Amino acid sequence: MENKKIRFFGIGRIIPYVKNFKREFVIMIVFSIIASGIEITFPQFHRYALDSFVGKGTLSHLGVFVVMYALAILLAGLFNYYANTTAAITEVRVHQKLRDVGFVHLQTLSFAYFNQNSVGYIHARLMSDTEKIGTLVSWTLINGIWYLAYLVGSAVMMLMMNVKLALLVLTILPVLMIIVGFFQKKLITANREVREINSRITGNFNEGIAGAKTIKSLAIEDKISENFVEETAKMKSKSIYISRLRGAFGAAMNFASSIALAVVLFKGGYLAEDEV
């Protein structure tokens, strides 16, 4: 089956099925941004503790610091909890909505469609694809919003602390965007192929069970087994390929992050020396 190019990951086609969950989306987005904003302040608490309690050797305002820090942790936890709970509820409801719509649509299809596609294949695509879509509009959305807000907030915080050092760190962003774009394209294509192969394997399971009498009557067990082994071999090969891609993606991101850290430590040392 050919993979058709879909603009913007097919989000435009999903909107009609998720437009009734506006309230949940607002809660997820707003609470994620608030939680991310609160967690951005944690390094500043650490900075204050090191500068005041360790550097100056004083315990002045320690009680206020503990209360404020504990309050920030509590608020971040609460907002993250409600955002994640809403995401989980939204995921399940989107699953239900898409599967209900898919089941109703199946009743309108012609007999020719069911002759061309096995029951197992249809079942696997209906269950697997709707699960991926539900995850996309819930966990993927909330994680993307959280990390984006954290990235923007951290950049602003760094610029407020030291403009030169912040600009040096931000120069690594274009490299990260290129890495993400490169691996994202390959991973999306590979994952689509895996779901397609998995659907065919499920279809083979269904045919092997439902058509067991026919298969034995025609004595084509070997042919059926060869087809099944061929499909599972493709699944294994493609899954290993995806695992390697993910490993390479993680290694590339860690390498780029290490470069940014090295730049901060190297240049930051000279800046600190100049300020002394």
Do 121 and 215 lie in a common domain? no
- The boundaries of the domain holding residue 194 are 163-276
Give the residue carrying structure tokens 């067991």: 212
Residues 149 and 227 in one domain: no
Is the domain of 179 the same as that of 242?
yes
Token pair belonging to 225:
């087994």
* Same domain membership, residue 167 and residue 157: no
Judge if 125 and 251 occupy the same domain: no
- DSSP letter at 172? T
* Residues 143 and 111: beta-carbon distance below 8 Å: no
Mean pLDDT of 117-126: 78
pLDDT above 70 for 1: no
Q: Based on the domain organization, do 140 and 185 belong to the same domain?
A: no
Alpha-carbon separation of residue 162 from 35, 256, 271, 275 (angstroms): 24, 21, 10, 12
* Domain final position from 124, 145, 161: 161
Residues 23 and 117 in one domain: yes
pTM for this entry: 0.76
pLDDT digits (tens, 9 = 90+) for 187-232: 888 988 888 888 888 877 777 776 766 767 777 777 878 888 888 8
Q: Which of 145, 161, 177 is the last residue of a domain?
A: 161
- Classify residue 2 as left (phi > 0), alpha (psi -120 to 50) or beta: beta
Contacts of 27 (CB under 8 A, 6+ apart): 82, 83, 86
Judged by DSSP in three states, 112 sits in helix
In this structure, the answer to whether residues 243 and 183 fall within a common structural domain is yes
Domain identity same for 124 and 173 = no
147 and 170 in a single domain? The answer is no
Dihedral angle, C-alpha 218, 221, 224, 228, nearest 10 °: 160
Which tens digit of pLDDT belongs to each residue from 218-270?
Answer: 777 778 788 888 888 999 999 999 999 999 998 998 888 888 888 777 877 77
Is the separation of the CB atoms in 206 and 215 below 8 Å?
no
CB 146 within 8 Å of CB 37: no
Closest to 146 in 3D by CA, of 86, 187, 98 = 86
Looking at the structure, tell me whether residues 104 and 222 fall in a common domain.
no
> At which of 123, 142, 161 does a domain end?
161
* Of residues 157, 162, 169, 165, the one with CA closest to residue 40: 157
CATH of the domain at 63: 1.20.1560.10
Both 117 and 6 in one domain: the answer is yes
Q: Specify the number of domains making up the chain.
A: 2
